[in-house]
Amino acid sequence: MLNEDTPLTPVNKADKLSPDASEKGDLSMPAKVDMDKIVSLCKRRGLIFPSSEIYGGLASCWDYGPMGVELKRNVRDAWWKSIVHERDDVVGLDTSIMMHPGVWTASGHIDSFTDPLLECKSCHLRWRADDIEGQRCPKCDGELTEPRMFNLMFKTSMGPVEEEASTIYLRPETAQGIFVNFDNVITTSRKKLPLGIAQIGKSFRNEITTGNFIFRTREFEHMELEYFVKPGTDEEWLDYWVKERFDWYVKLGIRKENLRLRQHGKDELAHYARDCYDIDYLFPMGWSELEGIANRGDFDLIQHAKHSGKELGYYDAEAGEKYVPYVIEPSAGVDRSVLAFLIDAYDEEEVEGEKRTVLHLNPSLSPIKVAVLPLSRNEKLTPLAKEVFNKLCPNFVTDYDDSQSIGRRYRRQDEIGTPFCVTIDFESLEDKQVTIRERDSLAQIRVPIEKLEKNLEAKLKGEAFNASALWATREK
């Protein structure tokens, strides 16, 4: 059963917002940060840049900068830890992006991975039919063409001579790499069902409409779990994974009121799905899908067995029976999760009459865990500050910054969500103590350098920042 406080809201498909929703004005629009602020912070602080920017950029492609690459890696690691490392019923896999073309015939992607596309006869903008309400172009009110089906897979050719080369596709999901390896994993891992196989990797979709920053792009990263179960237990496992995945976002700091569950209507289910839930997030443009959790039944294994001629089933030794497992699939986007974490963490507040922008990220997601800041760039302070930095950086992702005033340096760390700053001042030279300053409360405590690592480790694991224990001040 789903948790009682899980907001399982039945929502119409019409509530799923199209990229132009912000132009239309949406009633459920949250009174929070707008996307421009996030895009600008990402550019300014080295989180995310437009791709090929010096050539004018490439539509819907983005590059992760020095801070973004850390954040993205932390999101991936948090998923992998909770899905693979903290359980004994899930193993990992890393399959190739290019696969035998037969895979995509069997999976139904050649025939069915399509979106109906409409083109405006006046401004020639193209729209996904299910993003359009009414008969006219939302941009210029022009007349639209009849819908035609558009396959979202990127085609390329393999082999040095183009005319003789075979057509292959860039994978639009990582799931199929898991299904075609089901037998390999079952026979080599010696695990029993229920068994999950997890994969993180790039996927490619030639989306008709992209937009909203990294929300919908043509190249993105998937985090997918295929959880194989005995038929008849599938509904229970679907409930289990819906709750598990919902709680994962909450545990990592996303506010519950900004998340909701939406069950797909029968007319909306994908060709392979028996049931499906979306976890939606309240993005600045409105409620939109963050993750999908589907009951795929035995569709994929049956299809691959049929097309490859290889039997894909499971022998349950305890029950003495053979069957084709059903599959529960939680499928999330790394980039879309990064965006939700950024938006939810973003805050602007006033401290002593000055504005500060802060990312209240869960410390496990923060790009930098600790910043070492000598009070000033002074020849007496630098050696001790460097010593502290060298001590910390093998254990924590640590930044060293000695340029500009201490206040400005704190603000720079706040903007990228660094949970702790360690300040070395002139007193530190005498008493061998330093000040730890906490991002959210702005409280400060003083600790001996020799206890610094242990202290930070405990605090990064969630120990309360007990500012009264030693001495505390609120930052001026």
| Chain residues in the site for ligand ATP (CB under 6 A) | 205, 207, 216-217, 220, 222, 289-292, 331-333, 335-336
Closest CB 290 distance from ligand ATP, rounded Å? 6
Which residue, 115 or 414, has its beta carbon nearer to ligand ATP?
115
* CA 265 vs CA 148, 268, 275: distances in Å: 23, 5, 9
Which residue, 285 or 305, has its beta carbon nearer to ligand ATP?
285
Closest CB 284 distance from ligand ATP, rounded Å? 15
| φ/ψ (deg, to 5) at 219 | -125, 125
Closest CB 292 distance from ligand ATP, rounded Å? 3
Closest CB 395 distance from ligand ATP, rounded Å? 32
The closest residue (CB) to ligand ATP is 333
Which residue, 331 or 362, has its beta carbon nearer to ligand ATP?
331
Which residue, 203 or 433, has its beta carbon nearer to ligand ATP?
203
**In degrees, to the nearest 5, what angle opens at C-alpha 348 toward C-alphas 40 and 288?**
65
Which residue, 62 or 182, has its beta carbon nearer to ligand ATP?
62
Closest CB 249 distance from ligand ATP, rounded Å? 12
Which residue, 125 or 273, has its beta carbon nearer to ligand ATP?
273
Closest CB 288 distance from ligand ATP, rounded Å? 7
Within 13 A of 44's CA, how many CA atoms are on the CB side?
11
Which residue, 186 or 200, has its beta carbon nearer to ligand ATP?
200
Closest CB 182 distance from ligand ATP, rounded Å? 20
Within 13 A of 60's CA, how many CA atoms are on the CB side?
16
Which residue, 182 or 272, has its beta carbon nearer to ligand ATP?
272
Closest CB 335 distance from ligand ATP, rounded Å? 5
Closest CB 219 distance from ligand ATP, rounded Å? 8
- How far apart, in whole angstroms, are the C-alpha atoms of residue 30 and residue 358? 19
Which residue, 276 or 436, has its beta carbon nearer to ligand ATP?
276
Which residue, 222 or 369, has its beta carbon nearer to ligand ATP?
222
Which residue, 120 or 332, has its beta carbon nearer to ligand ATP?
332
Closest CB 175 distance from ligand ATP, rounded Å? 9
Closest CB 461 distance from ligand ATP, rounded Å? 29
Give residues with Cβ within 8 angstroms of 279, minimum separation 6.
242, 245, 246, 249, 259, 260, 261, 289, 290, 291, 292, 293
